[in-house]
Amino acid sequence: MRKHVLAADVVHADDTPLPVLAPGNGKTKTGRLWTYVRDERPSGGTTAPAVWFEYTPDRKGEHPQRRLADFGGVLQADAYGGFSKLYERGAVHEAACWAHVRRKFVDLEKLHQSASATEALERIGALYAIEAEIRGRSPDERRAVRQVKSAPLLSQIKLRFERTLPALSQKSDLAKAIRYALTRWGALIRYCDDGHIEIDNNSAERALRCAALGRKNFLFAGSDAGGERAAAIYSLIGTAKLNGINPEAFLTEALRLIGDHPITRIQELLPWNLQFPQIASSNAALQTTSP
């Protein structure tokens, strides 16, 4: 599953904390669950979508750097500094997330009733409206529409930010929100030139929702080994869901077969390859990209 995900031209990545029982003192430490997602359906792709999780005992940048050492393509992620060295070597290109930009202005509008934040949200909303029109179309079609419709809007947003920033207190929340966007501008507009790329990293964020739900139920992993097992199960369940397959039924059948199945043909037990009437369903509807 990991090989399948990292063979993509575009990979979505994100991470979330996972409390883990620390040996000997009855307290928990903070481990990390990383998610890597391949989903080409928004750009008309037919390759099976998949999500692969990895557990690490901390959030050091060496973990994604090691995992993506051989990856070449576009990494769509947040502004986590641990990804920076990947971009420096040139084989990995950064695509940033407009949903992260938007959230900062949502907070400003709620807290301060900021007219500037409202204007920014309207402009960003127009970008998302264009994405809704072209979801599921081919990469070439998406790029062509973005060049005509999105590129002028992006230029207007940048110009507005650049004119507004000098008039603000540089410590204000609005100035911080604008600087967040401007310092990542090249990565934020990369999607406009490549129809394979999404406007945001919501594919990875959706994949992590199961981990957030899990924390409320089991509270913590019992050990680092437990974190690794959790990552494996999350990978199987998340991928089954992406492919429109009942996860419980998939796991039941995979476990039934795996004992006698040749290790050299393990790919036959991947969720999208394991076809039988009792668990197969129609492909999952294309998930809506929303801000």
Average pLDDT of 116-131?
Answer: 97
Average pLDDT of 88-105?
Answer: 96
Average pLDDT of 229-249?
Answer: 94
Alpha helices in 9-167 (DSSP H): 62-67, 84-88, 98-112, 115-134, 139-145, 151-164
In the block, tokens 């992620």 appear at 77
Q: Provide the β-strand partners of residue 38.
A: 50
What is the CB neighbour count within 10 angstroms for residue 250?
A: 23
216 pLDDT band, cuts 50/70/90, is confident
What's the N-to-C CA distance of the chain in angstroms? Answer: 28
Residue ranges of domains in the chain, CATH in brackets: 2-95+202-247 (3.30.420), 98-189 (no CATH)
Joined tokens for residue 64: 């994604």
- Return the DSSP state at 192: G
- Please report the pLDDT score of residue 277 as a whole number: 52
The letter for the amino acid at 36 is: Y
Residue 278 has pLDDT above 60, yes or no: no
| Helices and strands, number each (H, E), in the chain | 13, 5
Span of 25-34, 153-162, 234-243, 274-283 with lowest mean pLDDT: 274-283
- Please report the pLDDT score of residue 276 as a whole number: 60
Average pLDDT of 135-155?
Answer: 98
d(CA 16, CA 14): 7
The string over 201-221, giving b where at least 16 C-beta atoms fall within 10 Å of a residue's C-beta and e elsewhere, is bbbbbbbbebbeebbeeeebb
d(CA 188, CA 200): 9
Q: Which SS3 state, helix, strand or coil, does residue 291 take?
A: coil
Instruction: Considering only the C-alpha atoms of the chain, give the largest distance between any 2 of them, rounded to a whole number of Å.
Output: 69
User: What are residue 260's phi and psi, to 5 degrees?
Assistant: -105, 10
- Please report the pLDDT score of residue 204 as a whole number: 97
Handedness of CA 289, 175, 111, 114 (dihedral sign): negative
Residue with the larger pLDDT of the pair 213 and 138: 138
Average pLDDT of 212-219?
Answer: 80
CB 43 within 8 A of CB 60: no
Residue 284 has pLDDT above 60, yes or no: no
d(CA 244, CA 192): 29
The letter for the amino acid at 70 is: D
Which among 71, 74, 131, 65 has a CA at the least distance from the CA of 98?
A: 131
- Quote the percentage of the chain above a pLDDT of 90: 85
* Full strand arrangement of the beta sheet holding 50-56: 50-56, 28-38, 10-21, 73-76, 92-95
Question: Across the chain, what does the average pLDDT equal?
Answer: 92
